[in-house]
Amino acid sequence: MIVLKSDRELKIMKRAGKIAAHTLEILKKAIRPGITTHELDKIAEEYILSKGARPAFKGYRGFPATICTSINEQVVHGIPGERRLEEGDIISIDVGVVLDGYYGDTAATFPVGKVSREAEELIEITQNCFFEGIKYARKGNRLTDISHAIQNYVESRGCSIVRDYVGHGIGREMHEPPQIPHFGPPGKGPRLEKGMVLAIEPMVNRGDFKVKTLEDNWTVVTVDGSLSAHYEHTVAITDGEPKILTLP
């Protein structure tokens, strides 16, 4: 796991994070009924390259695109293609970039036009659980203090937290140790120290937490067909408040 040793390293990670965050902002504005997920992917790729960065997911274990686009009951790792977004859909978009050897990773779920109250609430719960979790992302705490707070919040709101996919350390690699579950008992895992950088990325299902992978070997969906949402930021541990590196 990376422990940032200098302000210079932190600055580069912030710049990488900002590019990822701006990509999501640009995509949020482009989302509308009728646009294909491939068109969104193109927009993302052009923007990232224009900033002198590279899409981190493209080519990763053979993933063919810049972003992951996961619609409705799709949880994560959806592949952009010719599917057109429809009014009432929700779409989770995950963006990773690498700049000067450092990675930034962020994701969020967006409504397409007017969506159901249930979908709106799920998006809100997913964002909120991330912020409940990072209250514990402080020097001296244990890693799973974050995990536990996320699960507690999600379940208190009648949703479930995905077990099969977890967050990760991030820095000079997209996925570094430790794995960061978004569930489980507190007080376990490494003690957090200044300079650690974590990608915390809860995936929340409206129904049961069980998921499965489709035949494309990438797209993960809920087994019960219920809606799913995703929210992720790259977060640095400091002497005080955690610092979110993937903010616009």
User: Taking CB under 5 A as the rule, does residue 105 contact Mg ion?
Assistant: yes
User: Please, what is the minimum distance in Å from the beta carbon of residue 34 to Mg ion?
Assistant: 29
Question: Which among 239, 245, 232 has a CA at the least distance from the CA of 197?
Answer: 245
Determine the interface stretch with Mg ion among 83-91, 129-137, 194-202, 223-231 (rule: CB under 5 A). Answer: 194-202
Question: Which among 229, 220, 221, 226 has a CA at the least distance from the CA of 208?
Answer: 226
Quick count: other Cβ atoms within 10 Å of Cβ 147? Answer: 27
| Cα–Cα distance measured from residue 76 to residue 218, given in angstroms and rounded to the nearest whole number | 8
Determine the interface stretch with Mg ion among 83-91, 102-110, 186-194, 221-229 (rule: CB under 5 A). Answer: 102-110
Q: How far is CA 120 from CA 90, 213, 235, 237, in A?
A: 9, 25, 25, 30
User: Taking CB under 5 A as the rule, does residue 176 contact Mg ion?
Assistant: no
| Cα–Cα distance measured from residue 238 to residue 92, given in angstroms and rounded to the nearest whole number | 29
| Cα–Cα distance measured from residue 137 to residue 156, given in angstroms and rounded to the nearest whole number | 21
Determine the interface stretch with Mg ion among 45-53, 75-83, 97-105, 136-144 (rule: CB under 5 A). Answer: 97-105
User: Taking CB under 5 A as the rule, does residue 199 contact Mg ion?
Assistant: yes
Closest to Mg ion by CB, 83 vs 175, is 175
Chain CA centroid to CA 7, Å? 25
Closest to Mg ion by CB, 44 vs 199, is 199
Q: Per-residue x/- mask for Mg ion, residues 35 to 54, rule CB under 5 A?
A: --------------------
User: Please, what is the minimum distance in Å from the beta carbon of residue 65 to Mg ion?
Assistant: 15
| Cα–Cα distance measured from residue 158 to residue 78, given in angstroms and rounded to the nearest whole number | 25
User: Please, what is the minimum distance in Å from the beta carbon of residue 2 to Mg ion?
Assistant: 14
- 225 backbone φψ class: left, alpha, beta (φ>0; ψ -120 to 50): left
Report the b/e string of 92-119 with b at 16+ CB within 10 A.
Answer: bbbbbbbbeebbbbbbbbbbbeebeeeb
User: Please, what is the minimum distance in Å from the beta carbon of residue 198 to Mg ion?
Assistant: 10
Closest to Mg ion by CB, 132 vs 201, is 201
Determine the interface stretch with Mg ion among 37-45, 67-75, 142-150, 196-204 (rule: CB under 5 A). Answer: 196-204
User: Taking CB under 5 A as the rule, does residue 16 contact Mg ion?
Assistant: no
Closest to Mg ion by CB, 34 vs 248, is 248
Closest to Mg ion by CB, 9 vs 105, is 105
User: Please, what is the minimum distance in Å from the beta carbon of residue 237 to Mg ion?
Assistant: 17
User: Would you tell me which residues interact with Mg ion (CB under 5 A)?
Assistant: 105, 199, 201
